[in-house]
Amino acid sequence: SDHALEYPKTPADMDWVSLYPAYAAKTATEKENDTEFNESRAGDGKEQTKARGITKDVEIADIGCGFGGLLFALATKFPDTLSLGMEIRISVTEYVQEKIRALRAQNAENKTYQNIGCLRANTMKFLPNFFRKHQLRAIFLCFPDPHFKQRKHKARIVSTMLCSEYAYVLRPGGYVYTITDVRDLHEWMVGHFSGHGSFVGVEGRELEEGEVGQCVATMSTETEEGKKVERNKGEKFVAVFRRVEDPAWP
């Protein structure tokens, strides 16, 4: 349950270095030569590394990433972007973390898979603890648990309040990508995002072109659930929403 979940007080308190060690802000040698760093260094210096963080921000979040199929694809599709999978189940999170370690070791020469990380989180509660306002350029909500029964709808990861949180962490011009095989959930997500002032639905050619097109294709084919639906010849419902600029105050 949630009380066992660790989450940072603010995004700056997050230990990003342990998720993306290749992007640590300073190398050991640089630190040795950095007087300001040495003067402020306390204890074993670990705290300092943490505070310095990483050289890039996470820009893509895969919410409820499951076994990480999309995340592993994002690693090579967007090699210069840090992507983060967030998952509530402990064993599933550990599986993804273990696979990232293995892929990094296997690809040590070409340094791929350094740009993805996975952490355990209840994203319905703590999203703004991990990301600053307007930090993200893409959020994936792939095959969220449908929670079919009416009284369970409050457990869905799309609601008016959660749309506001997604809008907070997503930059204007960024996108939310959704996919599901459950028509009712698709309509629910479209209703909530379209009805929220911070988003507009993306239609037509825009869904096929550029980064949006790439993201739509990737989430349709690379997620574990997407593959399962494919095998069962089921239907996939895709919807994409652009985060609009906040209105200027009069």
Which residues carry a binding-site annotation for S-adenosyl-L-methionine? Answer: 64, 87-88, 122-123, 142, 223-225
Q: Say whether residue 86 binds ligand SAM (CB under 6 A).
A: yes
From the candidates 145, 181, 184, 246, which is the catalytic residue?
145
Q: Which residues pair with 60 in a beta bridge?
A: 83, 138
Q: Is 145 a catalytic residue?
A: yes
- The single-letter code of the amino acid at 224 is E
Binding residue positions: 64, 87-88, 122-123, 142, 223-225
Task: Please identify, using beta-carbon distances, which residue of 57 and 224 lies nearer to ligand SAM.
Answer: 224
| 85 in contact with ligand SAM (CB under 6 A) | no
DSSP reduced 3-state for 151: helix
Distance between CA atoms of 106 and 93, rounded to whole angstroms? 20
Stretch that binds ligand SAM, among 61-69, 74-82, 183-191, 231-239 (CB under 6 A): 61-69
Q: Please tell me whether residue 145 adopts helix, strand or coil conformation.
A: coil
- The CB density around residue 159, as the number of other CB atoms within 10 Å, is 16
Binding residue for ligand SAM, selected from 19, 75, 82, 92, defined by CB under 6 A: 92
Residue selected from 114, 123, 135, 178 as contacting ligand SAM according to rule CB under 6 A? 123
Enumerate residues 188-227 that contact ligand SAM by CB under 6 A: 223-225
Is residue 245 within 8 Å of 172, Cβ to Cβ?
A: yes
Contact residues for 142 (Cβ-Cβ < 8 A; gap 6+): 62, 64, 65, 66, 70, 177, 178, 179, 219, 223, 225, 226
> Which residues bind to ligand SAM, rule: CB under 6 A?
64-66, 69, 86-89, 92, 121-124, 142-145, 157, 223-225
Catalytic residues: 145
